[in-house]
Amino acid sequence: MRFPALLIVWALILSVVPATASHAVSQSVEANSSVAAKKNRGKACPTKNFWLGAGWGADRGRRSHAGMDMGGKRGTPIFAIETGRINRTKRQSNGALQIVMKGRSGSMYYYGHMDKVLVKGGQRVTKGQVIGRMGDSGSKGQVHLHFEYWKSGRESDAVNPIKLLKRICPSI
Ligand SMILES: [Zn+2]
């Protein structure tokens, strides 16, 4: 009677061990992706279905380009990069529509050249909320989002946004 009992024990071991091993693997994958999720927590890519245009430091005559251009189709949604508040919206002297928002992290974000602005100064926004539509205001014929990252939260204190965008935009 001992022999069948041993077989049963062995069968039990065989059925339990692989399950335990694969569980351990999936746990470590989850751990890694949760680290990434934590780092990106609270931020969304400012637009979607885009290609990268002129980047940080591109020559703009007397000044250099202080942001990243993200080209796309007219009407592509523009998103609040994090939960926060719209600082202002306005039409610049060159005709470009702009949105400036401040996130709850303290950083500010500048969006330019939209066809449509769907928010107002002072309005609270949540991460991923559609705040505008991509267009070519002030850049006729070149539909794109001009995006600046004012990391310190000070007006026009732009830093190269590429690292941030790579972290939060799945397509880069
Ligand atoms: Zn630009």
Query: Would you say residue 134 has pLDDT above 70?
Result: yes
Identify whether the C-beta of residue 147 lies closer than 8 Å to the C-beta of residue 70: yes
The CATH number that domain 51-168 falls under is 2.70.70.10
- CA–centroid distance, 75 to ligand 1, in Å, is 17
C-alpha 147 to ligand 1 mean position (Å): 7
Average pLDDT on 28-37 reads: 55
146: CA distance to ligand 1 center in Å?
A: 4
Q: What percent of the chain has pLDDT over 90?
A: 72
Q: What are the domain boundaries of the chain?
A: 1-41, 51-168
CA–CA gap between residue 152 and residue 122 (Å, rounded): 20
Q: Residue 115 and residue 51: Cα distance in Å, rounded?
A: 18
| pTM for the model | 0.78
Q: Is the pLDDT of residue 155 over 80?
A: yes
For ligand 1, a single-atom ion, the residues with CB < 5 A are 69, 146
CA distances from 85 to 78, 135, 171 (A): 15, 22, 26
